[in-house]
Amino acid sequence: MRIIITLMLFVLMHISVHGQESKSPKYFLNSKEFSLEKVYLNPTSIDSISVEKESKNGEVYIFTKDKCLSLIPLKILIKEYTDIKRIGKSTLFKINDKYIYDIEGIEFDESYFIYVEVIDVSKAQYLNNNYKGLTIVEIDLETEKRKPGIRIRGNHEIVENLNK
Protein backbone atom coordinates (compact mmCIF):
# COMPACT_ATOMS: atom_id res chain seq x y z
CA MET A 1 0.00 0.00 0.00
CA ARG A 2 2.85 2.40 0.83
CA ILE A 3 4.47 1.65 -2.49
CA ILE A 4 1.27 2.51 -4.36
CA ILE A 5 0.82 5.79 -2.45
CA THR A 6 4.48 6.72 -2.98
CA LEU A 7 4.21 5.91 -6.68
CA MET A 8 1.02 7.99 -7.01
CA LEU A 9 2.65 10.95 -5.24
CA PHE A 10 5.67 10.72 -7.53
CA VAL A 11 3.46 10.68 -10.63
CA LEU A 12 1.35 13.61 -9.39
CA MET A 13 4.44 15.66 -8.52
CA HIS A 14 5.93 14.94 -11.94
CA ILE A 15 2.71 16.03 -13.67
CA SER A 16 2.43 19.25 -11.64
CA VAL A 17 6.09 20.17 -12.21
CA HIS A 18 5.80 19.48 -15.92
CA GLY A 19 2.59 21.53 -16.11
CA GLN A 20 4.29 24.52 -14.50
CA GLU A 21 7.24 24.38 -16.90
CA SER A 22 5.17 24.75 -20.06
CA LYS A 23 5.35 28.28 -21.46
CA SER A 24 2.52 30.20 -23.03
CA PRO A 25 2.48 30.44 -26.82
CA LYS A 26 3.93 33.33 -28.80
CA TYR A 27 1.38 35.78 -30.15
CA PHE A 28 1.64 37.55 -33.49
CA LEU A 29 -0.48 40.48 -34.64
CA ASN A 30 -0.41 40.79 -38.44
CA SER A 31 2.79 38.67 -38.38
CA LYS A 32 4.51 40.91 -35.80
CA GLU A 33 5.14 39.44 -32.33
CA PHE A 34 3.33 41.19 -29.48
CA SER A 35 2.42 40.70 -25.83
CA LEU A 36 -1.19 39.70 -25.24
CA GLU A 37 -1.06 41.34 -21.79
CA LYS A 38 0.14 44.68 -23.20
CA VAL A 39 -2.00 45.19 -26.31
CA TYR A 40 -5.74 45.71 -25.97
CA LEU A 41 -7.21 44.59 -29.28
CA ASN A 42 -10.83 45.27 -30.19
CA PRO A 43 -12.48 41.91 -31.04
CA THR A 44 -14.39 43.59 -33.88
CA SER A 45 -11.04 44.41 -35.55
CA ILE A 46 -10.06 40.75 -35.81
CA ASP A 47 -10.38 39.15 -39.23
CA SER A 48 -8.96 35.71 -38.43
CA ILE A 49 -6.99 33.73 -35.86
CA SER A 50 -4.83 30.72 -36.60
CA VAL A 51 -2.98 28.48 -34.19
CA GLU A 52 0.32 26.81 -35.08
CA LYS A 53 0.67 23.72 -32.91
CA GLU A 54 3.87 22.35 -34.45
CA SER A 55 6.21 24.95 -32.91
CA LYS A 56 7.80 24.41 -29.50
CA ASN A 57 5.24 26.22 -27.32
CA GLY A 58 2.69 27.01 -30.00
CA GLU A 59 2.08 30.22 -31.90
CA VAL A 60 -1.12 32.21 -32.27
CA TYR A 61 -1.48 34.41 -35.34
CA ILE A 62 -4.08 37.16 -35.21
CA PHE A 63 -4.89 39.03 -38.40
CA THR A 64 -6.94 42.22 -38.38
CA LYS A 65 -9.39 43.50 -40.97
CA ASP A 66 -7.29 46.63 -41.39
CA LYS A 67 -3.71 45.53 -42.06
CA CYS A 68 -2.42 48.92 -40.84
CA LEU A 69 -4.00 48.65 -37.40
CA SER A 70 -3.58 51.85 -35.41
CA LEU A 71 -2.51 51.39 -31.79
CA ILE A 72 -2.40 54.21 -29.24
CA PRO A 73 0.28 54.02 -26.52
CA LEU A 74 -0.99 54.56 -22.96
CA LYS A 75 1.04 57.75 -22.48
CA ILE A 76 -0.50 59.38 -25.57
CA LEU A 77 -3.99 58.25 -24.56
CA ILE A 78 -3.53 59.89 -21.14
CA LYS A 79 -2.41 63.17 -22.77
CA GLU A 80 -5.41 63.18 -25.13
CA TYR A 81 -8.14 62.16 -22.68
CA THR A 82 -7.04 63.70 -19.36
CA ASP A 83 -5.41 66.77 -17.83
CA ILE A 84 -2.60 64.65 -16.37
CA LYS A 85 0.69 66.19 -17.49
CA ARG A 86 3.00 63.42 -16.35
CA ILE A 87 2.43 59.84 -15.27
CA GLY A 88 4.09 59.54 -11.89
CA LYS A 89 4.54 56.94 -9.20
CA SER A 90 1.30 58.07 -7.57
CA THR A 91 -0.87 57.04 -10.54
CA LEU A 92 -2.67 53.69 -10.55
CA PHE A 93 -4.30 52.41 -13.72
CA LYS A 94 -7.39 50.27 -13.97
CA ILE A 95 -8.25 48.99 -17.44
CA ASN A 96 -11.55 47.17 -17.92
CA ASP A 97 -11.87 46.60 -14.15
CA LYS A 98 -8.36 45.14 -13.85
CA TYR A 99 -5.56 46.96 -12.04
CA ILE A 100 -2.36 47.35 -14.08
CA TYR A 101 0.94 47.16 -12.25
CA ASP A 102 3.34 47.50 -15.20
CA ILE A 103 2.36 50.19 -17.71
CA GLU A 104 5.40 49.91 -19.98
CA GLY A 105 4.42 49.08 -23.57
CA ILE A 106 0.63 49.18 -23.11
CA GLU A 107 -1.23 50.01 -26.32
CA PHE A 108 -4.89 50.27 -27.30
CA ASP A 109 -6.69 49.53 -30.53
CA GLU A 110 -7.90 52.90 -31.82
CA SER A 111 -11.22 51.41 -32.95
CA TYR A 112 -12.37 51.00 -29.34
CA PHE A 113 -14.72 53.53 -27.81
CA ILE A 114 -12.45 54.70 -25.00
CA TYR A 115 -13.82 56.15 -21.78
CA VAL A 116 -11.40 57.56 -19.21
CA GLU A 117 -12.18 58.69 -15.67
CA VAL A 118 -9.59 60.23 -13.36
CA ILE A 119 -10.26 59.76 -9.66
CA ASP A 120 -8.40 61.90 -7.12
CA VAL A 121 -8.50 60.13 -3.76
CA SER A 122 -7.10 63.06 -1.75
CA LYS A 123 -10.56 63.80 -0.30
CA ALA A 124 -10.89 60.34 1.22
CA GLN A 125 -10.37 61.10 4.90
CA TYR A 126 -9.96 57.48 5.96
CA LEU A 127 -6.81 56.99 3.86
CA ASN A 128 -3.33 57.29 5.30
CA ASN A 129 -1.47 60.48 4.34
CA ASN A 130 0.87 58.38 2.20
CA TYR A 131 -2.01 57.82 -0.24
CA LYS A 132 -3.34 61.39 -0.37
CA GLY A 133 -1.51 62.07 -3.67
CA LEU A 134 -2.82 58.90 -5.30
CA THR A 135 -4.69 59.25 -8.57
CA ILE A 136 -6.62 56.36 -10.08
CA VAL A 137 -7.16 56.37 -13.83
CA GLU A 138 -9.99 54.09 -14.91
CA ILE A 139 -10.05 53.22 -18.62
CA ASP A 140 -13.02 51.41 -20.11
CA LEU A 141 -12.69 49.96 -23.61
CA GLU A 142 -15.98 49.22 -25.31
CA THR A 143 -16.89 47.92 -28.74
CA GLU A 144 -20.01 50.09 -28.98
CA LYS A 145 -20.68 53.70 -28.10
CA ARG A 146 -22.37 54.14 -24.74
CA LYS A 147 -26.01 55.10 -24.75
CA PRO A 148 -26.93 58.13 -22.67
CA GLY A 149 -27.81 57.07 -19.14
CA ILE A 150 -31.28 57.65 -17.76
CA ARG A 151 -31.53 58.74 -14.17
CA ILE A 152 -34.74 58.20 -12.30
CA ARG A 153 -34.98 60.33 -9.21
CA GLY A 154 -37.57 59.69 -6.56
CA ASN A 155 -39.30 62.11 -4.25
CA HIS A 156 -37.84 61.83 -0.74
CA GLU A 157 -41.12 62.93 0.88
CA ILE A 158 -43.11 60.21 -0.84
CA VAL A 159 -40.70 57.55 0.39
CA GLU A 160 -40.98 58.86 3.96
CA ASN A 161 -44.79 58.81 3.80
CA LEU A 162 -44.79 55.22 2.57
CA ASN A 163 -42.79 54.14 5.62
CA LYS A 164 -45.42 55.49 8.07
| pTM confidence score | 0.71
Sketch the domain layout of the chain as residue ranges.
71-142
For the CA atoms of 120, 125, 128, 131, what is the dihedral angle to 10 degrees? 0
Segments of the chain with pLDDT less than 50: 17-18, 158-164
- The predicted pLDDT at position 21 comes to 58
- For position 38, what pLDDT does the model report? 95
**Confidence (pLDDT) at 4:** 55
Q: Give backbone dihedrals phi and psi of 73, rounded to 5 degrees, phi first.
A: -65, 150
Instruction: Say what the pLDDT of residue 138 is.
Output: 96
Helix (H), strand (E) at residue 36: none
